[in-house]
Amino acid sequence: MTSSASTAPDVIDQAIPLATDHPLYALRRQRPKVVASTQGSYEGMFAPEVQGISVNERLLVALHACRLSKADSLTLHYRDRLLAEGADAALVNAVASGNAVVPADVRLQTILGFTAKLIDRPIEGDRAAIDALVRVGLTTPAIVALGQLIAFLSYQIRIAVGLQAMAAAGVAP
């Protein structure tokens, strides 16, 4: 039995729109708890209650991670969400385009730099990288939240990119 929560469109469904009769749509729903937990994790990662790193900073991290990972549909999702949240459009567009000179905000540059390290070169996510986050004002709980967010994004990106590749290849379960 599938609950209504597991059949409601979620971020993955929005990013990789599959018809409800598509075999990959049905495949995702063979594990309704995974679908619900993935969406629940998304909602938790961007909840206002997370302290030490703002929702907009977390959304910019997501935008940056998705752009680096070439997850175009998720990049669009996070870009649109940032704009809907009232984020500065020039900043959002700069991060979405990979403009290295923007943002001028050292804190955000450091956070996005840490994100790039964990996405592209995780071995560089060492003590020096964490110390840089501390220097720009992140507390230990904020650093933990940032690390959890980046780990979640890696998972979310893999799901979206995998589904997209399977759909494009015409793979049916």
Burial 4-27 (b: 16+ CB within 10 A, else e): eebeeebbbbebbebeeeeebbee
Local confidence band at 103 (pLDDT 50, 70, 90 cut-offs): low
Residue 43 identity = E
Give 3's pLDDT tier (boundaries 50, 70, 90): very low
Residue 134, Cβ neighbours under 10 Å: how many?
13
| CATH 1.10.540.10 for the 53-173 domain, yes or no | no
Q: Return the pLDDT at 168.
A: 83
More confident residue, 9 or 168: 168
Q: What percent of the chain has pLDDT over 70?
A: 91
Over residues 105-141, the pLDDT tens digits come to: 899 999 999 999 999 888 888 899 999 999 999 999 9
In three-state secondary structure terms, 86 is: coil
Q: Give every CB contact of residue 149 below 8 A, 6+ residues apart in sequence.
A: 45, 58, 61, 62
Q: How confident is the model over 74-95, as pLDDT tens digits?
A: 999 999 999 999 999 999 999 9
On whether the CB atoms of residues 160 and 12 are closer than 8 A, the answer is yes
Q: Would you state the pLDDT for residue 27?
A: 86
Distances (CA, A) of 6 to 37, 38, 152: 9, 10, 19
Q: Write down the domain spans for the chain.
A: 53-173
**To which H or E segment does residue 88 belong?**
none
pLDDT tens by residue, 50-78 = 889 999 999 999 999 999 999 999 999 99
Contact 145, 50 (CB under 8 A): yes
pLDDT for 40: 93
**Residues contacting residue 70 through CB under 8 Å, at least 6 positions apart:** 161
pLDDT at 4: 41
